[in-house]
Copies of this chain bind each other. A is one copy, B any other.
Amino acid sequence: MSLDAVLDPASVAVIGASDDPDKVGGRPLVHLARNGFAGRILPVNPTRTQVQGHVCFPDIASLPEVPEVALVIVPGESAVRAVEELAAAGTQVAVVIASGFSEVGPEGLLRERHMKAAAAAAGMRIIGPNSMGVCNFATGTVLTFTTAFIEVPPVDGPVAIVSQSGSMAVEPYMLLASEGIGIRQVHATGNDSDVSVGEMAVLAASDPSVELLLLYLESVKDVDSLAELGRVALERDLPVIALKAGRTPAGEAAAASHTGALAGEDRVVDAFLERHGIWRARDLGDLVRATALHLRPKRPKGNSVVIISNSGASCVQSADAAELWGLGVAPLAAETRAALDSVLPGFATSTNPVDLTAALIGNSRLFADVLPPLAADPAVHAIHLALPIAGQGYDVEAFAVDLAVVAEDIPVVVSCPMPERITAPFTAKGLPLFRTEVDAIAALGSYAGAWQRRLDARARGPMAVLVPRIGPTRMLDEAASMAFVATAGLPVVEHRLCRDVGEAVAAFHELGGARVVLKGCTAAASHKSELGIVRLELGSESEVADAYDQVMDALQKVDPAAPGVIVATMVRGRRELLLGARQDSVFGPVVVVGDGGTYVEAMPDVQLLLPPFTADEVRAALDALRIAPLLHGLRGESPMDLDSVARAAVRVGDLVADPDTGVVSVELNPLLVGDDGQGCRALDAVVHVADGDGPTSGGAA
C-alpha cells in the first residue's frame, strides 16, 4: 500500500456522494469533473442510483472494483464503518473529510483511534479525519469540498501548499492564484491521525515538477517526517517555506486552545527548521511574498542588493528595509562608480542606493545606462528598482525590457504604487512587482535568506532526529551532579563533599588553603543563594568551620536528608556563562548556551542548539549572543576562552543525545570562563537522570 496513490489514483470512491453540486458530498464530483480527473469515479450513496451523471452504488461492498483511493464524507460512526470496510477491501488511502473526531473531545478521540487502528491493521493510510482534502491539479485529483477552487479556479503550476489547517491551505492559494501564480498541489491533513503534514509534504516534495513548497504547521508532532522533508528538499534544492503561528505568548495560548497539542517551544522550532534547511516565514504575507523569486531557475549568489530609484526618499526607505530583512546594501566597485559618474547628473552620488533623481523624467535612458555596470558589479547580488512615481514621461516599457535581460542572471524586484495600467510592462515581463519599497525588499530578503539557509544546512549534512526523553526523572544533588559531569569529561571546579566540620576544614587545606566557597549540598533546592546555604570567600580554618555550622543549620530546614556541604576552590574568571541541556517535549534534547549567573531567567540571553553539533556551531551561537562583544574582549581586554566553552557544549550535547548516559537534563550555571587558554569551569551543576539511572550523591571530583 502506498500513499503515492492519493496523487493519481486509477479509481476514487466518494463515500457519501450527493447529487447536489453545492453540498459537501456533491462538490468533490464537481471538482473531479472540472479538473479533468481521468480515473474511474465511484460514488456511494444508498439512496440513489445516479449521482451527477455517474452510476451510484448503495454501499462499499457493491462497488465493482476496489477503489485505490476513497474520499470519506459521511459523518461520525458511519465514517468509521466506511474506513473499516475500505481497509478490508484493500483500498490504499482514505481521505477522511468527516469531522467530529479528536477535535471535538475525548469521545471523538476514541473514534479516531478506532478508525486508525482498523486502517493500520490492513495497511491502509488515512489522511484526516477533519481534513479539507487532497488536491493534485496536474492529474485532476481534487478530493475536497472547498468552494475555494470554484471561486478562484486553479491554474496548474510549480507551487505546492501543504497544511494541517484547511483554511491555511486555502489562504495562500487565494493570495497566489489571484496573482496568476500556478499551483499544482494543495493538501490539508486535518487531525493528522495517520499521515502527518510532514509526510504529506515529503510526498509533495518528491514531485519533480514542484519547485516551491509552502507549509503551514499548526502543532509539530511528526518531527521525523519534517526532518525527512528537509533532507528530500535539500537534495534537489527545493525551497521549503514554513509558517508556524504561535510565536508570541498570545499566539501560543490561542494555539493551545485550538489544537490542544503540545507545541514544542517556539525557539526550538526555529532551531529545528534552521538545522533542516527550512525557512520560517514571519507571517502569511511573508509566506507567499517571495514566490516569484523562489521560482526563478537560477539561485542567487549572495544577499547584497543594489537599490535604484528616481527618489531619494525611496532609496532611504529601501535601505532601511534591507537592513531589517537581512540584506546587505552592496558597496559598489570603483569601476562601477566611475561608470555611474559618467552618466548620472553632476549632483547625484554614485553610491548605493543609486538615486537617479527626478532627472529620470524625460530621460529614461538614464536607467539603461546605469543598469549594465551595476549588474556587472560582483558585489551586486540583487537589484531593486523603486519607482514611487512613474507614468507620463517615463519609459516604463524600456525599463521593463532592460530589467528583464538582467533578471536572467540576477534576482530583480520592482516597487511602484502606480495603477496597473502603468506598471503592466513589468508584469508582462514576469518581473516581481510590489506596491511599496518595503514589500519588494522583504521578498528579496526572504528569498536570499531561504537560499542561504539551504546552503548552510546542506553544508552541515543531514541530521538524525533524537527522541524526547519523557518519563520520570530524578535530580542529582550538587555533589552527585558535579561528579557526574566531571566523569563525563566536563570541566568542574575542584571541590569536596564534606559530611562534618572536620572534613570541611580538611578540604580547605587540601584545596590549597586559599579562599574557598562552602555550599549546602541538596537536591531539594535549586536557588541556593536565597536560602542562606552559600558562603563565599572563606580564607581561614575558623571561617570555614563557622560557615559549616551556619550552613548546616540552614540546610537542615531545607532538606534534613542533605548529605553535607561542598567545599570548593574560590576561582576567578571573566564571565559567568550558562551551559545546559533539556528535553523539548517534541524535538527532544536541546542545548542552551548563553549568559549565566543569578538573573538568567529574568534577563535571558541564550542561544539554542540541537545536538549533535560541532564546536564551530557553538562558536556561531556564542557570536549571536547579546554579550558576544564582551566575550571577544572589549576596551583592550583579551578575548575569553570560547573554544573551551564550545568543547564543553559539544560534550553536553553528546551527553544528552546518547540515551545510554541516562542524562535527561544538565545545567551548568555558572560556567566560569577565563582568558583565552585558561579554559572554563562549572562552579555549580544540576543533573536530572532518567529515574533508575545514576548515583544519588557523588564524592570528590
* A contacts, CB < 8 Å to B: 22, 99, 103-105, 108, 146-148, 150-152, 163-168, 170-171, 174-175, 178, 216, 218, 245-251, 253-255, 257-259, 283-285, 307, 310-324, 329, 346-347, 349, 351, 353, 355, 358, 388-389, 391-393, 417-419, 421-422, 435-439, 527, 529-530, 598-599, 602-603, 626-627, 629-630, 634-636
Contact = CB atoms under 8 A, between A and B. Distances in A.
Given A105-B347, A174-B418, A150 B392 contact: yes
B392 A598 contact: no
A206 to B, nearest CB: 25
A285 B436 contact: yes
14 contacts: A99-B358, A148-B391, A151-B392, A151-B419, A151-B422, A170-B389, A171-B314, A178-B417, A254-B307, A258-B316, A530-B636, A599-B634, A599-B635, A603-B630
Given A284-B317, A635-B598, A170 B258 contact: no
Contacts of A314: 167-168, 171
A318 B257 CA distance: 14
B317 A283 contact: yes
A436 B349 contact: no
Contact of A251 (B147, B250, B320, B355): B320
Q: Which of A150, A249, A358, A630 has the most CB of B within 10 A?
A: A358
Nearest to A248: B323
A594 to B, nearest CB: 13
B245 A316 contact: yes
Given A284-B317, A418-B151, A254 B347 contact: no
A627 B528 CA distance: 22
Contacts of A246: 316, 320
B346 A167 contact: no
Contact of A419 (B99, B152, B313): B152
Nearest to A148: B389
Contact of A255 (B316, B322, B529): B316
A163 B311 CA distance: 13
A388 B317 contact: no
In this complex, the member of A285, A355, A422, A636 whose beta carbon has the largest number of chain B beta carbons within 10 angstroms is A285
B347 A104 contact: yes
Contacts of A250: 319-320, 322-323, 329
Nearest to A626: B603
A310 to B, nearest CB: 7
Give 8 nearest A-B pairs by CB, closest first: A251-B320, A167-B311, A258-B312, A104-B347, A165-B313, A248-B323, A167-B388, A254-B319
Contacts of A178: 417, 419
Given A285-B438, A346-B104, A146 B598 contact: no
B284 A436 contact: yes
A325 to B, nearest CB: 10
Nearest to A105: B347
Given A175-B417, A178-B417, A245-B317, 12 more contacts: A103-B347, A147-B392, A148-B418, A167-B310, A168-B388, A245-B320, A250-B319, A251-B320, A254-B320, A257-B353, A258-B355, A598-B635
A316 B99 contact: no
A146 B389 contact: yes
A66 to B, nearest CB: 31
B530 A635 contact: yes
A602 B388 contact: no
Which of A104, A314, A437: most chain B Cβ within 10 A?
Answer: A314
A171 B218 contact: no
Nearest to A163: B313
A355 B165 CA distance: 13
Contacts of A175: 417, 435-436
A311 B321 CA distance: 32
A133 B22 CA distance: 56
A527 B635 CA distance: 8
A312 B190 CA distance: 12
Contact of A602 (B103, B257, B393, B634): B634
Contacts of A164: 313
A314 B216 CA distance: 11
User: Which of A255, A307, A627, A630 is most buried by chain B, counting CB atoms within 10 A of its CB?
Assistant: A255
B602 A316 contact: no
A634 B146 CA distance: 53
A218 B319 CA distance: 14
Contacts of A346: 104-105
Contacts of A167: 310-311, 313-314, 388-389
B248 A312 contact: no
A254 B351 CA distance: 9
Contacts of A254: 307, 312, 315-316, 318-320, 329, 353
A595 to B, nearest CB: 10
Contacts of A422: 151
A108 B357 CA distance: 16
Contact of A388 (B99, B170, B417): B170
Contacts of A324: 248
A559 to B, nearest CB: 18
A209 to B, nearest CB: 25
A313 B148 contact: no
Contacts of A258: 312-313, 315-316, 355
Contacts of A355: 257-258
A392 B317 contact: no
Contacts of A630: 599, 602-603
A170 B422 CA distance: 15
A306 to B, nearest CB: 12
A212 to B, nearest CB: 18
Nearest to A178: B419
Nearest to A284: B436
A284 B438 contact: yes
Given A146-B389, A320-B248, A323-B251, A259 B312 contact: yes
B171 A635 contact: no
Contacts of A313: 163-165, 167-168, 216, 218, 245, 258
Contacts of A322: 250
A22 B175 CA distance: 38
A256 B119 CA distance: 67
A180 to B, nearest CB: 13
Nearest to A130: B358
- Residue among A168, A175, A322 with max Cβ neighbours from chain B (10 Å): A168
